[in-house]
Structure 1
Amino acid sequence: MTQPIALRSYAQDRFLPAGEEAQLVSAIDGSTVALMPSEADPGAMLQHAREVGGPALRAMTFQQRGKMLRALADALTARKDELYALSAFTGATRSDSAFDIEGGIGTLFVYSSKAKGLPDARVMTDGARETISKGDFIGQHILAPLRGAAIHINAYNFPVWGMLEKLAPTLLAGMPAIVKPGTVGAYLTEAAFRIMIESGALPPGAVQLLLGSAGDLLDRLDGQDSVAFTGSAATANMLKARRNIIARTVRFSAEQDSLNAAILGPDASPEAPEFDLFIKEVVREMTQKAGQKCTAIRRVLVPAHLIDQVQGAVVARLGKATIGDPRSDTTRLGALAGIAQREDVMSNLATLRTEAELVTGGIIPQLGGELDKGAFFAATLLRCDRPAVAKAVHAVEAFGPVATLMPYADAQEAIVLANAGEGSLALSIFSNDAAAINDLVGGVSSFHGRIMIVDRDNAEFATGHGAALPHLQHGGPGRAGGGAELGGIIGMMPYLQRSAIQASDRILTAIGGM
């Protein structure tokens, strides 16, 4: 880039002055892409959200908010080429960028469509009416938006989707949001945010953008506010343990990185269609977004007698995944988000190698020229032959193009190994045996937020192991954070209060039409 972008926070319905704070550099060649602004006033932003944004959104009906989301999606679609151009600097290939940009816009479209089935009212009923006594006295649950602000703390790996997948259910619920993006790649988030503001579709105070430090924002929240966090378990635990979050019972939803697994079914053979489908999915998850997905496959579980064949097939396919400049059409594996991220991957990889053998990768490729200043890292496959007694492979995540191959003796051991991750966002099963699938699902479902089952008949329609869909829950128990984002209307629940109303039929009908 010839001139770095001077980023600006957006507070109280205006873009704040640009600053020349921390430099954000290209993951491709280390050149400066953008400059972070000076810190904003989080207290003033919170007050504006509560006093201006909240009333404006609550004055709209669910269906009106749905039309607002559609307008935002249309505006982003019309200018998405601007986002693709910036996305490359995060190390993302064109395909990686589509996963982020098109995925985020698609989430807005889905939630705008969901709104058509909601009442043209400002509250909605939840469930059927309950007869609680003789005569005209009935119980009914209703859902109404909270009166505070939604604080969205996003990760760096999806600068567009990460923002939009939280904003869609939040705005549809009728709650204003303060978006705090990950610093790395914040220039892409700011560009998408600016397009939404310039669309004119949002009422005053509906959204604000906080770049840089959040200051004491979390210490100002109360029980009408809500926090949605995406990132590491360590950071999530630190934030939700803050005295004010606990004392004021602030809603806190965490979607954390996890040790997701893929299982090749016990019925598989090298000649079975599921075998090749499994290999392709493992390699795609290792290379897409350079493995920087919270849903990426980290543990590759295969029948013990097939481990050598699986290893050979994965290595051969990885050999075809060209690493290099993500702006090139021939590149399959782009760069990590930055040098610091690569150092973190290498540190965790060293820990994993205390229990697992390096099969391929584990090196910084020499690509030549300016690319040698980038954050590239070779796709890395490890093999752990004794996963039942290993610890690190089930607890330590190298957040990059890294996966560990491990054998299992039978379906029961596959279940034990999958659950050893102590809670994951996603798991995939590749099998054509309904009985085996039934056993596996029954054993792993309580430890996994989403399970994708692929066979020879549905493979061409499968959406992919790593794709978090707006229609389905995104979250998982235990290590994955215990949160539940998306999931259609369920995704609105962190921003709605469920209240039990006891009244006559006439009054309940009037309330439901508000």
Structure 2
Amino acid sequence: MTAADWHARAAAITPRTELFIDGGFQPAASGERFDTVDPATGRVIAAVARGDAEDVDRAVRAARRAFERGDWSLAAPAERKRVLLAVADGIRSHADELALLDSIDGGKLITATRQVDVPGSAAILQWYAEATDKLYGQVAPVASPDLAIITREPLGVVGAVVPWNYPLETAIWKIAPALAAGNSVVLKPAEESPLSALRLAEIASAAGLPDGVLNVVTGFGVEAGAALGLHPDVDVIAFTGSTAVGSRFLEYASRGSIRPVWLECGGKSANLVFDDADDLDAVADAVIGGIFGCAGQVCSANSRLLVQRGILDGLTERVLERAAALTVGDPLDEATRMGPLVSARQRDRVAAHIASGRDEAELLLGGDALPGDGFFLAPTVFGSVPDDARIMREEIFGPVLAIAAFDTEEEAVARANASEYGLAASVFTSSIRRAQRVAPALRAGTVSVNTVDALDVTTPFGGVKQSGFGRDLSLHALDNYTALKTTWFAGA
């Protein structure tokens, strides 16, 4: 499909712009709105309801009523499975619409949203739906004639706060296990990309999800997000976003009622490339995808490239050649390989890191904003980056790669671990023994060997250190949204 075709289809969409509470769309109590902007053009897409503490309270009360009503929380697992499968089918039925919403709202490539994000969201929801009637309790080995059983119960009201880089998919990461377990959810999408969340709620309602089980409050983090974090009737918070904001949710929990807070925060992932890597062309391809995909706006982006000295020049040459060839531009053009940053604010923030990098290291490629009304930056590569440079230490969340050389395996591991973050890492080597030594030595939630950012619904995703401690995906995510209950029957 041509870019003109996609633009025509995008123009035909009328986005939902009100809050979704208790099964229907409602204006913000204040009547206030905010503009959501197409980052590729700088043009306003729609004025969206600006929810605040009063709206969050309405949503939480609706979620609590739904939970206590029991038509979802107490429904047979097979019934929850049936409805969630219908929601997954609804996502597939509206795939192009949802893909376009995330592309125009978040600047994501239509090739990515249509081929990966939307079908991936439906598949993840289907996977958790299928899990609902396959989870069993346990019988504890207590002395006869007593009987002790261990069951999992939903916690109640889940507050989910998600970022703008994967608006639909990250929402599904939280919603799917929370709903599968029988909880009600209040979702706060990022103010930069709220549109797909509102449409998702409408699709879920049409598929049979009971009123109040999924609510969406759009608005700003300091208003709606903080109110959700502080609300005393929220039983658990699930958050994906920056480390700075994640720490605020821990503070909110300390000021309100006691509840778990599951954080998946920032990252500064390292690629370790050893001189026995089989194919430097394949490594270079992986490096490019790992840092310039989604314009580098990925928490697990492989933004540090540590290369054994003997192959430094050869790999750097290949990376620069590929980065220079990336087509940067219109996300709705299927030939585009990198789109804009999500906002002018984010572009300027990344540009400030690049300016710092010019003083700290050798600029090998890019470094400039691109002309036009959108929020574009050129793919940027720095070489000879010292370990104490800002661009090597701090999460940039943009298309900026920092390259440095190492000599020994021990040095590579030590330098990769010398970060406050611990979300992901990659190791490139032809030696299985080396991979078996290095992978467990790296302090990261996921270590990918001879690839980058390996991910599947069957494996948990999350980090250590300042990257947080929550886990999305896999059956382990159900732990975030359930409580263990022991029921003990005394024998005669």
Q: Which residue of 1 aligns with 2:231?
A: 220
For residues 49 and 312 of structure 1, do their structure 2 counterparts lie closer, same or farther at Cα, with a shift above 3 Å needed?
A: same
Instruction: Give the match's secondary structure for 1:483.
Output: coil
Letter in 2 for 1:203: P
Aligned with residue 480 of structure 2, among 467, 491, 494? 494
Q: Which residue of 2 aligns with 1:121?
A: none
For residues 502 and 352 of structure 1, do their structure 2 counterparts lie closer, same or farther at Cα, with a shift above 3 Å needed?
A: farther
1:288-437 → structure 2 map (5 Å cutoff): 288-366=293-371, 372-387=372-387, 390=388, 392-437=390-435
For residues 352 and 141 of structure 1, do their structure 2 counterparts lie closer, same or farther at Cα, with a shift above 3 Å needed?
A: farther
Cα deviations across residues 168-214 of structure 1 (Å, max 9, x unaligned)? 00001110000000011112322233222222x20121100101131
Cα deviations across residues 227-268 of structure 1 (Å, max 9, x unaligned)? 0011111111122112x5455221101100110112213423
Q: Which residue of 2 aligns with 1:9?
A: 19
Consecutive unaligned residues of structure 1, counting only runs of 5 or more, are 119-123, 367-371, 455-463, 507-514
Q: Which residue of 2 aligns with 1:93?
A: 109
Letter in 1 for 2:245: T
Please give the TM-score of this superposition, normalised by the length of structure 1: 0.86
Whether 1:112 aligns to 2:129 is yes
Whether 1:204 aligns to 2:219 is no
For residues 92 and 220 of structure 1, do their structure 2 counterparts lie closer, same or farther at Cα, with a shift above 3 Å needed?
A: closer
- The whole-number CA distance in structure 1 between the counterparts of 2:349 and 2:192 is 14
For residues 194 and 235 of structure 1, do their structure 2 counterparts lie closer, same or farther at Cα, with a shift above 3 Å needed?
A: same
- The whole-number CA distance in structure 2 between the counterparts of 1:258 and 1:449 is 10
Q: Which residue of 2 aligns with 1:77?
A: 92
For residues 110 and 179 of structure 1, do their structure 2 counterparts lie closer, same or farther at Cα, with a shift above 3 Å needed?
A: same
Q: Which residue of 2 aligns with 1:46?
A: 60
Q: Which residue of 1 aligns with 2:286?
A: 281
- The whole-number CA distance in structure 2 between the counterparts of 1:76 and 1:3 is 16
Aligned with residue 453 of structure 1, among 433, 449, 455? 449
Instruction: Give the match's secondary structure for 1:36.
Output: strand
Q: Which residue of 2 aligns with 1:156?
A: 164
Q: Which residue of 1 aligns with 2:79?
A: 64
For residues 202 and 357 of structure 1, do their structure 2 counterparts lie closer, same or farther at Cα, with a shift above 3 Å needed?
A: same
1:471-486 → structure 2 map (5 Å cutoff): 471-486=458-473
1:128-277 → structure 2 map (5 Å cutoff): 129-131=140-142, 133=143, 135-146=144-155, 148-199=156-207, 201-212=208-219, 213-214=223-224, 216-222=227-233, 225-242=235-252, 244-245=253-254, 248-268=257-277, 272-273=278-279, 275-277=280-282
Following superposition, the deviation at residue 138 of structure 1 comes to 4.0
Following superposition, the deviation at residue 379 of structure 1 comes to 0.7
Instruction: Give the match's secondary structure for 1:448.
Output: coil
- The whole-number CA distance in structure 2 between the counterparts of 1:413 and 1:324 is 39
Q: Does the aligned pair in 1 maintain the 2:306–2:405 contact within 8 Å? A: yes
Following superposition, the deviation at residue 394 of structure 1 comes to 4.3
- The whole-number CA distance in structure 1 between the counterparts of 2:130 and 2:123 is 11
- The whole-number CA distance in structure 1 between the counterparts of 2:403 and 2:229 is 41
Letter in 1 for 2:124: T
Consecutive unaligned residues of structure 2, counting only runs of 5 or more, are 1-10
- The whole-number CA distance in structure 1 between the counterparts of 2:43 and 2:241 is 26
Please give the TM-score of this superposition, normalised by the length of structure 2: 0.90
- The whole-number CA distance in structure 2 between the counterparts of 1:288 and 1:261 is 15
Following superposition, the deviation at residue 395 of structure 1 comes to 2.8
For residues 350 and 139 of structure 1, do their structure 2 counterparts lie closer, same or farther at Cα, with a shift above 3 Å needed?
A: farther
- The whole-number CA distance in structure 2 between the counterparts of 1:11 and 1:117 is 31
Following superposition, the deviation at residue 116 of structure 1 comes to 4.5
Instruction: Give the match's secondary structure for 2:355.
Output: helix
Letter in 1 for 2:483: Q
Following superposition, the deviation at residue 490 of structure 1 comes to 1.0
Following superposition, the deviation at residue 497 of structure 1 comes to 0.7
For residues 228 and 440 of structure 1, do their structure 2 counterparts lie closer, same or farther at Cα, with a shift above 3 Å needed?
A: same
- The whole-number CA distance in structure 1 between the counterparts of 2:385 and 2:310 is 12
Q: Does the aligned pair in 1 maintain the 2:392–2:402 contact within 8 Å? A: no
For residues 324 and 217 of structure 1, do their structure 2 counterparts lie closer, same or farther at Cα, with a shift above 3 Å needed?
A: closer
- The whole-number CA distance in structure 2 between the counterparts of 1:356 and 1:345 is 16
User: % of aligned pairs identical?
Assistant: 25
Letter in 2 for 1:115: T
